[in-house]
Chains A and B, each alone.
Chain A
Amino acid sequence: MAVSLKMPFVDAVVDDSLKQTYVNGEKIGYEFQIRLSNYRGHYLSCIEELSFTVDGNKIDATNFTFTLNDKEFTVSQLPNLISEFWRVTDAATIKVYTPGGVEPGEHHISLTLMLRIPYMPIPGNAEGLNYALLDACGSKTLTVKE
């Protein structure tokens, strides 16, 4: 049985963080920030699932990246990042590629963020990769900054 914990200290989706992204003067997409709601930070390799929907539409992993510690990572790199630490007070930036950007106004972002708690094997399942999960999911409606 999967065991998951939730530490709802901060909002997963950061207030006022949604904005259009411009390249060569044209809207190429948008970005917003997310926090790891927990009492401690984690290495990025502990992320078991990172995905999100915007206004109910799922964004393909090819079309977004995860930026932290001044580095922009693809989603498929995350499982291998055993020395890249996500501090509990730092926001990561999700950058979404969608030419033309996002429609002006409000958008609902729903984030799925599940992490393996690497020091908490599930009692009774001590062997192998069987750890409790941190449910760091969250959602919020943000108004895009042009």
Chain B
Amino acid sequence: MSDIKLGVSLFSFSTDYVKGILSLEDCIRSAAEMGAEGFELVGTTMLRSYPYATDKVLGEIKSMTDAYGVDFVSYGANTDRGLRSDRDLTEEEMLQSTIIDLKTANKLGCKMMRAQYLLSPSAIGKLAPYAEAYGVKVGVEIHNPEYPTSPKMQEYLEVIEKSGSEYIGFVPDFGCFATRPNKIYWDQALENGAPLELLELAAKLRYDGVPRQEAAKRLKDAGANGPVMGAFNGMYGFVQFSHEPDFEGLKKIMPHVIYFHGKFHYIDENLEEASIPYGDILPIIQESNFNGYIMSEYEASDDALGMTKRHLQMQRNILGN
């Protein structure tokens, strides 16, 4: 029997935060007002004392969570492998930085942390005892174009299963189950002069699984301009889609899911996401033994508060509560 809690990643409000329209307090208050039980905060965006949690910052955040009655439950850590200008960070160096992130998450009171896939499977394995010691469960984000049973994620699964630890696992991002082209990029491309029939051709090539280079050539031969190729790069990059999302893979990794990123780009007035099949995804989670959070994560800019409110309501409708 599942027990699903709905939370909001404050990442959803990043654009308004960067522009100075919303303060951190506005973000936390808004999440609470929308009915989120908990929230996630990405350190590189909203933690003033990044990568640390100073006593001052901790006190400020605590006064906000107390006042608005919402829990700070997950810390979004980044894996910046390309930090140095002369070489990539080694696996050991990335592991060490992630241990600092664990300390920060622990001090902030978070029980969960997101890690990114540049932290290798073997580093995740080595992280497990530290995660247990700090009491923070670490999930590797499964972000489009990866999916639960993609070869890379299967390597993590092997390490996670072998470790026997409940403190390392996955944070699947629903974007990896997309069944349609990203509406925001599609509309932008149209606005910038992409002919509709060429965008449709690009989408068809993606659905048909035509290899990238060949697909690019066919598009160019058909007269594709820059905006078409920009949208095409997304379709073969971080916003891929298919007719057969990896739901079986999701079921397979479910015992190791720490929490979910409820990714969305556009929710219409009928409470439907434009490209991600929530009506198929949420029942799978509901029918599992999953006990934890889905964090709404808006990855666009316009009307973030309104869109996130819609996203939560859409999920409540599908979950039947």
Contact = CB atoms under 8 A, between A and B. Distances in A.
A120 B79 CA distance: 10
Nearest to A123: B237
B232 to A, nearest CB: 13
Interface residues of A, number: 29
Interface of A: 9-10, 37-43, 45-46, 48, 79-80, 82, 85, 87-89, 116-121, 123, 128-129, 131
A39 B15 contact: yes
A119 B81 contact: yes
Nearest to A48: B85
A131 B82 CA distance: 7
Interface in B235-255: 236-237
Contact of A38 (B18, B48, B86, B145): B18
Interface in B1-56: 11, 14-15, 17-20, 42, 44-45, 48, 50-51
B45 A10 contact: no
A119 B80 contact: yes
9 contacts: A9-B301, A40-B44, A46-B82, A46-B83, A119-B81, A119-B118, A120-B82, A121-B82, A123-B236
Given A39-B15, A40-B42, A117 B82 contact: yes
A70 B118 CA distance: 32
A53 to B, nearest CB: 24
Contacts of B86: 79, 129
Interface residues on B, range: 20 to 34
Contact of A121 (B48, B81, B87): B81
Given A85-B50, A85-B51, A129-B88, 18 more contacts: A10-B19, A39-B11, A39-B18, A39-B45, A40-B14, A40-B42, A40-B45, A45-B85, A46-B82, A80-B85, A82-B83, A85-B44, A117-B82, A118-B83, A119-B78, A119-B81, A121-B118, A128-B88
A82 B84 CA distance: 6
A30 to B, nearest CB: 25
A117 B86 CA distance: 14
Contacts of A37: 18
Given A10-B19, A38-B18, A87-B50, A43 B87 contact: no
A128 B86 CA distance: 10
A44 to B, nearest CB: 10
B116 interface: yes
A87 B42 CA distance: 12
What are the 8 closest A-B residue pairs judged by CB atoms, nearest first?
A118-B82, A118-B80, A79-B85, A40-B44, A39-B14, A40-B45, A131-B82, A9-B18
